A and B are shown apart, each in its own frame.
Chain A
């Protein structure tokens, strides 16, 4: 419950340093003037990478592009939302008003982990916004959905799309409904539904 409830499937926080370094290298001298990320407060994402003031922080443009490029979620979906970072690479999506930076417990909902080799959307974000996705969506039968919701990994040979993070979905009450995030590698769909969100159905 709470805190870092979302499992980090890649465990790749070690990659942060090298990613940060490459950003610095690209931006040359300017990068040395960037602030360090303050893990105690929420900062709004800059509109573009060029407007970045905090070292290593993803931009709004990059986040919206990621959701569109990977999952086909139309960019306009997020027109009325702001994106925020707290901690290293934990991105939140918020519909309300707040100044930046702001020191509070939570702002909207967590949506994405950046600052690791592969960005990873959260289960809760995918359940909320995954219905707008058209790419990297894998449809599960009821038994497979049940296994997925209880956190089980399962062999799945028929997927011929990209490897990596997918949106698992199933049909409920006449429409497809996203279950959460799966990691597809080596013919296996791994459920990365966090422990507190798993259910035996």
Chain B
């Protein structure tokens, strides 16, 4: 937990934060509305004798009281998909509509990409890309199990992604759920901080900047880009968005999130960020008993 000490100055109730990071997480699943309604899924779980708790902010997110959420009828039928509660936030902020063209730049293993497809009633085109061929197989497996017919899967580096292969030349929306130092996943994976270093943060931040810039370039004017990570490091969050604000036509947009969170930072160490970064959300583990996340919503401008 030592790497997290650097956040003491920016996190309210830091001791509660540290304690939450040490507690394991429950078994969260997302209801896949491509296959079944929330109501029917809840009845199926009840028939199966699996107790659940529905998230206040999103009726499609459930915490299951079972040691094996994969060995349920709802999982077999693809009514439910194991996905951490905060990991369901970025697609909701992205707010995609049926029929749109949406790019999920770093999509594997596919929880958010299939959630985007479900939010679009599986109508339209969701381009789910990942640069790692091994993880693409997991993405494809999940997409098929969840019955997503609107997904097109590609295997490329998002930083210099070409749309030439498609019949359209810009997206309506893009999700950049960037590769990151994963500090916020410590409750799920106690080894998450093992490879932590300043060097790792700065190298991953360089990749994040490249991907976010390309996502903005590939999205139409007036379109939406959501940037998210599962880490707390301002170098990977506000600084990455700041870099995009300085180099690409975009502005930070407001969004509603019925989940307790803190505002984005406007300063970190010797850096200052645009005041609009306060509209971003920092979600800490002790606020809602979840993992950690950062989410910013951008509007592409002229």
Contact: A96 with B126, CB < 8 Å?
Answer: yes
Closest to A131 in B: B35
Asked whether, in the complex, the Cβ of A106 is within 8 Å of the Cβ of B71, the reply is no
Residues of B in contact with A, size category? 35 or more
Task: Indicate whether A5 reaches chain B with its CB closer than 8 angstroms.
Answer: yes
Contact with B140, one of A2, A94, A197 (Cβ below 8 angstroms): A2
Among candidates A98, A127, A173, A197, residue contacting B125 with C-beta atoms closer than 8 Å: A98
Give the residues in chain A near B40, CB-CB below 8 Å. 173-175
Select B167's contact among A1, A2, A98, A104, beta carbons within 8 Å: A98
Please name the residue on chain A nearest to B148 by beta carbon. Answer: A109
| B147 and A127 form a contact (CB under 8 A) | yes
Residue count of chain A within 8 Å CB distance of chain B:
38
A23 within 8 A of B: no
> Cα distance A182–B47 when bound, in Å?
25
Total A-B pairs, Cβ < 8 A: 116
- Quote the shortest CB–CB distance from B151 to chain A (angstroms): 7
Which residues of A182-201 are within 8 A (CB) of B? Answer: 196-197, 199-201
Complex interface: chain B residues within 8 A of A95 (CB): 122-125, 149-150
In the docked arrangement, what's the CA distance between A107 and B154, Å? 9
- The reply to whether B167 and A99 form a contact with Cβ atoms under 8 Å apart is yes
Q: Is the CB of A104 within 8 A of B152?
A: yes
Contacts of B57-82 to chain A: CB distance below 8 A: 70-73, 75-78
Are B152 and A94 neighbours in the complex by a CB distance under 8 Å?
Answer: yes
| A96–B43 touching, CB < 8 Å | no
- A197 contacts which chain B residues (CB < 8 A)? 76, 145
Given contacts A96-B150, A104-B152, A104-B154, contact A201 B71 (CB under 8 A): yes
State how many angstroms separate the Cβ of B213 from the closest Cβ of chain A. 23
| Residues on A facing B (Cβ under 8 Å) | 1-3, 5, 80-81, 93-99, 102-110, 122, 124, 127-128, 149, 172-175, 177, 179, 196-197, 199-201
Q: A97-B101, A106-B140 are in contact. List 14 more A-B contacts (CB 8 A).
A: A3-B137, A81-B149, A94-B152, A96-B124, A97-B166, A98-B167, A103-B165, A104-B153, A105-B140, A108-B148, A128-B147, A196-B141, A199-B71, A201-B76
Q: List 8 A-B contacts (CB under 8 A).
A: A3-B137, A95-B123, A103-B165, A105-B136, A108-B148, A128-B149, A179-B76, A201-B71
3 closest residue pairs by CB, A with B: A2-B137, A96-B125, A128-B147
